Amino acid sequence: MYPVLYFLLEAAVVYALAAVVMYASWRLGGDDVLLASAVSSYLMLLTVSQFLASKIMNIGYANLPSGTVTYSATVATLDVLTLKYGRRIGYWVVRVAALLQLGLWAIIQLTIYAPPAPFWNLQGAFASIVGESARIAVASVAAFFTAETLDVHLVSRIMGNVFKRVGISDPVSMTVDSLVFVPIAFYGVMPIPALLSTMIGLILGKITLVPLTIGAVAVNRSTLKYAPVIQIR
C-alpha cells in the first residue's frame, strides 16, 4: 500500500506545483507571462522525466518508469496551452520541445566521448548512467512527439467542456505514448515479459493520473476564465 500512496502523493505535489505556477503566472503577469511559464514548465518536466525514466519503480499494482509523474504533468501544461492559445501554439510547443530534446541527446553523446582528465576514473560509470539517459531521450522524443501531437489534435477538436475534452484526449495520448516509449527505451535491456509488464504498468499508471490532469486544467479554466467551448485558432 505504501508504494501506491507514495506515487499518488508525488503526483499530487507535482500537479499542484504545475497548476499553481500557471495560475500565479497569469495572476501576476497576464497572458504573456502565463505563456512563458507554461512553456518553461513543460520543457523542464519533460527533461526531468527523461533522466528519471532510467529507474523502474514498483507501486504495488504496476512497474513503471520513475519519470511517469513528471511526464504526465507535461500533458496538463500542454492542455492548458492548447486550450488557452489554440492548436497552432500547442503544435509548435511540441515541435520545439522535440528539437531541444534531440539537442540534449547530442550534447550527452559529445560529453560521453569527450576525453576525460587523467585523474578521472569514473568514465565507465558515467557513460553507463548518462548513456542510458541518452537512449531514453531518443525514445522520449519519438513517443512524446507522436502522443502529444495527438493530444493537441484531440483536445482542440473535441467539442464540449474541459472535463470531456481532457478526459478523452489524455487517456488516448498517454496510451499511445507508452506503446511507443517502452519498446524503444528498454528493448534488449530487459526481458520481454518485463518489457510487457512495464508497458502495461505505464499505461495503468498514467491513466490513474488522468483525474489530476483534469483537475489541474479545470482549476486554470476557472481562474483564467476559459469558456466551456473555445474557438480553435
Cα–Cα dist 221/233, whole Å = 18
Residues 6+ apart with CB under 8 A from 46: 70, 71, 74, 97, 101, 140, 144
User: Residue 129: its pLDDT value, please?
Assistant: 57
The DSSP bridge partners found for residue 187 are 190
The model's pLDDT over 14-57, given as tens digits with 9 standing for 90+, comes to 999 999 999 899 888 888 899 999 999 999 998 888 778 777 88
User: Residue 93: its pLDDT value, please?
Assistant: 93
The model's pLDDT over 166-219, given as tens digits with 9 standing for 90+, comes to 888 999 999 999 899 888 888 877 788 888 888 888 898 889 899 999 888 888
Task: Give me the count of residues in the chain.
Answer: 233
* Average of per-residue pLDDT values in the chain: 82
Nearest to 151 by CA among 79, 80, 96, 232: 79
User: Which residue in the block uniquely carries the three cell numbers 515479459?
Assistant: 193
Q: How confident is the model at residue 107 (pLDDT cuts 50, 70, 90)?
A: confident
Q: Is residue 94 pLDDT above 80, yes or no?
A: yes
- Domain positions in the chain are 2-55+64-223
Q: How confident is the model at residue 66 (pLDDT cuts 50, 70, 90)?
A: confident
Q: Is residue 135 pLDDT above 90, yes or no?
A: no
